[in-house]
Amino acid sequence: MLTQGYCRGVAGMPVPVFRTFFLWPPHLLLAQCPAGDVTLTTQAQVDAFATTYPGCTHLTGSLIIGPSADIVNLNGLAGITSIQGWLEVKQNDVLTDATGLENLTFIGENIFINYNLVLNSLDLFNVASNSMFNIQVLGNSNLQTLHAPNYVSSLTNGSIGLDISNNPNLSVLTGLGALTTITRDLRLSNIKAMSFPNNLANLTFVGTNILISSNENITTLDLFNVASNNMANIQVTNNPNLQTLHAPNYVPSLTNGSIGLEITNNPKLTDLTGLGALTTITRDLRLSNIKATSFPNNLANLTFVGTNILISNNENITTLDLFNVASNNMFNIRVAGNPNLQTLHAPNFVPSLANGSIGLDISNNPNLNTLTGLGSLVSVHPTFRIENTQVASFPNLENLNAIGEFLFSYNSDVLNLDWLSNLSLIESQLTITNNPVLGYCSILAVCNFLSGAGTRTIGNNTGCCLNEPVLSSDCGLAEFEGQTISSSSSYCFEDAGPIIGLSASMVGLTYQLKSNGGADLGAPVVGTGSPIYFGSYPNGNYQVVATAAPGCTASISGSVNGTPGACTISVPSFCACDAPNGRAPVSIKITAPEGQTWTVKAVIGLYDAGSPPNTLIPLAVGTPMQYLGGNMFGLDALRRTDKGFWVQLTNGSTDKDVMVGNAGW
């Protein structure tokens, strides 16, 4: 603006002088805006702002609105267009909309819109910033419409990143069109919007966490182009209508997080892509309750998972390839409830599963027919569970030597447990049930467990693993295979040869002596837990076959070579004719090789040694002689002092008899 004045010139003549005045725009007259942060906690303060600071458009500090119990509108702030610091609207109990903030075009540092219980709309669409830290819209239970800043390209160096969470009625969400970079977290949860702006496809970098959960109506997420070198967690959970997830494809590792990778409880998720660069997860891999027919590259790129692998209840997945996964401190591996899973290449470089609540659980995958991996496992605690599979050929777990509980049931095609042949210890529980063709399970660890008192359930299998009694007997076959055929070193001249037997037998096993050509010799002998004898047979080669159940047998072979000798009978003390009660004891001895069985074949005039005082009970045919040691057998009896006696004793092939006096007296 120019104004004209005059001053004296030459000879006193007036000379016009022009002065220039600058009228500064009101938004540059900072004196009209308060210095520093502005905090408003009452409606009166909001209403007074426009009159107290007329023409104020630019705040050099931050604008903080709330906590307040009476702010109902923000109309008094309509002139503000830029905030150098941050905007915080918090805990305003009766604020229904944020009209008055719609003219904002710049916010420097942060946006916090938190816990405004009745706020239903917020329009910050035109806000721009080149160096904003955080945007957080949290806990606004009635918020329905959010036009988020559309001209903020990055959120850097903040402690939050982008957090739009727990706004359960938020159904309209727009903006964020320029946002490509978040150096901290992306958190979107518990909102009703049908979609996120552009499905988040503009994002190319997220620093630490992606947490997207409990969004009722979201159908598509596109995070495919997201990269990060130090991301901690990716969690996409409980989104009931999510159908398509393009997961970050340029994140090589998830480290130092509390989750790892979790994509769970998205029951309509049929299209899952991305994760192409991911090789390392230092915490968990959790994939459950989704409908995708495959995971990206079947997860074959993974080489390390730290603590847990939990893959369950995925309706259509057919193949999982975790073969190359290694870990030094893994807790649990669970692959369960995947009804169409056919092929599982389990982690092959995990030496132990410990300190978890599961251990190893491969169960309820009824179409699983190919299982590989697990080759490095040495120990599994608390539980080793394989149930409801069609696997016929299990990987040879030659390094596995100790487990807590062993639960093996409803596996339709497995024939034996030989693939666990080096397992030596099952600690607390044994269950082997309902495996219809499992006929052999008497491996070392199972037999060791059955010899103790631990909880066990064995049944509805087949063959040598039919039930616990059969299995226990079958375990005895292994011990039997370490035995040798025994025989007496000598035999009676009258016998066919030495007595053949075993130095020990097991209850539950039946033993059959066979010729070297395989012909049965004599009747089977039932195990008693003590030595058993088959009888006298010529010197030569023989077999003994032990049977636990039909088809469950083991055999040993050996030769016998005894020397014949005389077997004699004697009555060392045969008479006490002056006995006052008319009876006298008799002791009859036979010298013969140990292992023979001598019994009474016929008898006259001898009575049972245990007869009561006033009665004599005749000695029964079949009464056995007792082995006294030193190749000596003895029979104690009673006789009448007024009569003689006669007795004939036999070992089945040789008879010896003795008569004292006249048995007919």
- Over residues 367-418, the pLDDT tens digits come to 999 999 999 999 999 999 999 999 999 999 999 999 999 999 999 999 999 9
Q: Which pLDDT score, from 0 to 100, does residue 654 have?
A: 87
Is-contact 260 287, C-beta < 8 A?
no
The Cα 412–Cα 585 span in angstroms is: 68
Q: Which pLDDT score, from 0 to 100, does residue 66 have?
A: 97
Percent of the chain with pLDDT over 90: 80
Nearest-10 Cα torsion for 265, 268, 270, 275: -30
Q: Which pLDDT score, from 0 to 100, does residue 31 have?
A: 41
Q: Which pLDDT score, from 0 to 100, does residue 574 have?
A: 55
Q: What is the pLDDT of residues 102-157, one digit of tens each?
A: 999 999 999 999 999 999 999 999 999 988 999 999 999 999 999 999 999 999 99
DSSP annotation of 498? P
Half-sphere exposure of 254 (CA within 13 A, CB side): 25
Is-contact 394 419, C-beta < 8 A?
yes
How is residue 467 written in tokens? 């039930």
Q: Which pLDDT score, from 0 to 100, does residue 652 have?
A: 80
Q: What is the pLDDT of residues 416-464, one digit of tens each?
A: 999 999 999 999 999 999 999 999 999 999 999 999 999 999 999 999 9
Q: Which pLDDT score, from 0 to 100, does residue 618 have?
A: 95
Q: Which pLDDT score, from 0 to 100, does residue 578 have?
A: 59
Q: Which pLDDT score, from 0 to 100, does residue 25 have?
A: 42
Q: Nearest Cα to 531, choosing from 625, 595, 472?
A: 595
How is residue 544 written in tokens? 């003994």
Q: How confident is the model at residue 254 (pLDDT cuts 50, 70, 90)?
A: very high
Average pLDDT for 85-94: 98
Q: Which pLDDT score, from 0 to 100, does residue 663 have?
A: 55
Query: H-helix or E-strand containing 48?
Result: helix 43-52
The most confident of 225-234, 470-479, 530-539, by mean pLDDT: 225-234
Better pLDDT: 29 or 645:
645
Q: Which amino acid is at 59?
A: L
Mind spelling out the 3-state secondary structure of 381-415? EEEEEEECCCCCCCCCCCCCCEEEEEEEECCCCCC
Angle at 65 between CA 60 and CA 70, to 5 degrees: 150
Q: What is the pLDDT of residues 11-22, one digit of tens each?
A: 333 334 333 333
How is residue 62 written in tokens? 């931050």
24: pLDDT strictly greater than 90: no
Q: How confident is the model at residue 10 (pLDDT cuts 50, 70, 90)?
A: very low
The Cα 384–Cα 403 span in angstroms is: 7
Q: What is the pLDDT of residues 519-572, one digit of tens each?
A: 999 999 999 999 998 988 999 999 999 999 888 999 999 999 999 988 898 887
Q: Which pLDDT score, from 0 to 100, does residue 579 have?
A: 67
* Residue 445 main-chain phi, psi, to 5 deg: -65, -40
The Cα 383–Cα 428 span in angstroms is: 9
Q: What is the pLDDT of residues 170-219, one digit of tens each?
A: 999 999 999 999 999 999 999 999 999 988 889 999 999 999 999 999 99
Q: Which sign, positive or negative, has the C-alpha torsion 166, 170, 176, 180?
A: positive
**SS3 for 375?**
coil
64: pLDDT strictly greater than 90: yes
Is-contact 643 563, C-beta < 8 A?
no
pTM, entire model: 0.81
Q: Is 454 left (phi over 0), alpha (psi -120 to 50) or beta?
A: beta
The Cα 178–Cα 82 span in angstroms is: 19
How is residue 449 written in tokens? 């467990």
Alpha helices in 394-529 (DSSP H): 444-450, 468-480
Is-contact 115 91, C-beta < 8 A?
yes
Q: How confident is the model at residue 509 (pLDDT cuts 50, 70, 90)?
A: very high
